[in-house]
Structure formats: structure tokens, C-alpha cells
Amino acid sequence: MLLFLVFSDTVFGNGPGTLAAPAASRVTYETKLEAVRLHLVEGCTYRKIMERFGIADRHRLKVWMKKYKELGEFGLVDQRGRRKEYIDQNRYVQALEREIKILKKCLEIWMQEMKRIDI
């Protein structure tokens, strides 16, 4: 089964003698961040932001806003192809910092106990 799409005089498809279909345009991190900033800081409407950046889907802006509110700027980074451990890196670092605090406190208590026993 052959599939063909015709754009002007260029033929795209999956059959022999055809060109690969053009890649969908990807929105950069900077564009997403600017769109979020325009909405949150300057109070621009979704419609104005969509017109300014040529975004066809209003839902896409809502997803960016939600990700920004949940994860900050890191939420706007394209995560496709990344392992989940790297996505949750910030939480992992925070857990390690809490563990370090606990261990330091345990060491401090242990040292005090050792000094008290030696006396």
C-alpha cells in the first residue's frame, strides 16, 4: 500500500521515488518560556499569544502553563527520549540533601555520645 501527499509540485509519501514528509515544526524552549511569561507577567490572552507565535492549538498553551506552574522552567524542556530518573532529578537531589542533613545530625549526636562516654 502506497501513501502519497502532494504539496504543490513535490510528492511526499512512503513509496519508492518519494521524499520524506517535512518534519513538524517544533516549538523551542525559549518560545514556550516567552509565551508563559507573556501570559503570567504581562497578562496577554491566549489568543494574542497564539497569533504572535503562530500556535494553532489553545490546549497546547494550557499544557505549558500547567507544566510551568508544577515544575517551573524545567517543565517546559522537551522530555521526549529522556529517562524518568533524569526528569525527577530535582526531587532526587532534594531527597539526597535531606538525607545528608539527617546523617550530619546523627553524626553530631554520635560524637556527643562518644565524648560523654569518654568522660
Q: What is the pLDDT of residues 83-93, one digit of tens each?
A: 665 657 777 88
Instruction: Reply yes or no on whether the pLDDT at 18 is more than 50.
Output: no
**Residues 66 and 90 reside in one and the same domain:** no
**Residues 14 and 72 reside in one and the same domain:** yes
**Residues 55 and 94 reside in one and the same domain:** no
Q: Is pTM, for the whole model, over 0.85?
A: no
Separation between Cα atoms, residue 92 and residue 75, nearest integer Å = 16
**Residues 110 and 55 reside in one and the same domain:** no
**Residues 6 and 57 reside in one and the same domain:** yes
- For residue 94, what are the domain limits? 86-119
Number of domains in the chain: 2
| 14-23 LR contacts (CB < 8 Å, sep 24+) | none
**Residues 57 and 114 reside in one and the same domain:** no
**Residues 67 and 28 reside in one and the same domain:** yes
The pLDDT value given to residue 38: 93
